[in-house]
Amino acid sequence: MNLDDAPAPACTVEGCSNHQDARGWCSTHWRRWRLYGDPLALKPKKTIKEKIMDRVAKDAASDCWIWKGIRNNKGYGRLYIGETGRQELAHRISYEQFVGPIPADRVIDHKCRNRACVNPEHLEPVEFAENVRRGDAVKTQCPQGHPYDEANTGKGNKGSKRCLACHRERQREYYHRTKNGAA
- In this prediction, residue 66 carries a pLDDT of 96
Distance from C-alpha of 1 to C-alpha of 31, rounded to nearest angstrom: 33
Tell which residue, 22, 4, 5, has the closest CA to residue 13. 22
- Count: domains in the chain: 3
Q: What is the band of 179 on the pLDDT scale with cuts at 50, 70, 90? A: confident
Q: Quick check: is 183 in a domain?
A: no
Q: Quick check: is 2 in a domain?
A: no
- 125 and 57 assigned to the same domain: yes
Distances, alpha carbon 179 to alpha carbons 164, 166, 167, 174, 183, in Å: 22, 20, 18, 8, 8
| Domain, as residue range, for 25 | 9-44
Asked if pLDDT for residue 5 goes beyond 70, the answer is no
- 63 and 91 assigned to the same domain: yes
Q: Quick check: is 4 in a domain?
A: no
- 81 and 120 assigned to the same domain: yes
- In this prediction, residue 111 carries a pLDDT of 93
DSSP state of 156: -
Query: Is 0.75 topped by the overall pTM?
Result: no
To the nearest whole percent, how much of the chain has pLDDT over 90?
44
Q: Which residue did the predictor score with more confidence, 50 or 183?
A: 50
